[in-house]
A and B are shown apart, each in its own frame.
Chain A
Amino acid sequence: MKASVLHDGEGRILAIAKVPNLNAAGSKFTQAGIVPHEGQSLVEVDLSTEDSQRPLLELHETLRVDPTTKTLVKL
């Protein structure tokens, strides 16, 4: 499962977004997503099966983004 992860320059996660297929979810929008502010970066990551099943808050609190590899790593 894909997720958009917003992080600061040090890789600290500020927000995570899991946007579903909007049409299938009943939304009238065709696209939605995060717009990074200055000093923020956005990466698209493929969550592992294990991470996909973990509560989102747990991911947010226990992972960070490696700014070099743009992947999620444990704190």
Chain B
Amino acid sequence: MKVLVLGGRGYIGSNLVAMLRGAGIEATSASPRTKPAPGQLRIDTRDRSALQAALHDVDAVVNCVAGDGAAIAEGARVLADTARATTRCRRLVHLSSMSVYGAVEGCVHERVPPGPLLGWYDKAKRAAEQHVAAFAHGGGQAVVLRPGCVWGAESELWVGRMGRWLRAGRLGDLGIAGDGWSNLVHVDDVCVAALRALELPLGRGEVRTFNLAGPDSPRWNEYFIDLALAIEATPVRRLSPRRLQLDARLAGPALYLLRKGLQRLGRGGRRVPEPITPGLVGLWQRHLRLDPRAATRELRMDWTPYPAALQEAAAWFVEQESLARVSARAAATAG
């Protein structure tokens, strides 16, 4: 089987390409900012002709494209259209997100109707799912994966910045404001799910959708406390919802602008603390629990246990920190 992985340089995509190759599948990684090389293509998903050429000799596509709303929604539309026009590529595995459920709370399985939209991201993700479904209705086969928060070693999003916020005392035990479910899912589990989705027996025109979340993934507070203890960002702080709102709504926009400004001037905006966004604050208090039982059953998932993933994530974080210290010292000595 030959598989094209769109967004192959991203966190999920790069792990997936490695796993597919390890499993004996010929995987080509595609990304808009990559140097073309064997097994590596430079493709912007919205570029119809480039995509057409690439789809010509693959059996399936895994779509891991991230980015802004247009890249997600429009990219999926172009992909679905182009794939429909080819004869060889009959299967799409699409990485969606739990955010398609919008403002729904409670335990949600795949047939729960989505709630009101929360922002541009869910809107784009929902639109993308519709394009994928349209591809299947046109005679293809599609599997939509809806992961929660994808983590593991090297996860900047759910380990790196969380650890830095914990270290800075801007994150901790949030009480009610952190009582939402984390729906953390290990990146390896997402890759295994994508691999099995490629091989899942499907009929013509069939679409299957699966939630992906560790069945033992905890509520956010528990994750924050566990991570803080593991990286020794202690004592863990108990933060008030008020303080969190101030950080997100007042400090957040200022930090965002400062970072952008410094980046534009080439002055290393990385040193400015990362803003906590109101979207994250909303996520941490949302009682949405992804029900992963369909994936457990049909994709035969053997989920990475939360304690094992935590240990791995924390070890990576601590190692990153010590590497950063070493390079900072080296820079100082050189200067």
Asked if A and B bind, the verdict is: no
A residues sitting closer than 8 Å to B (CB atoms) are none
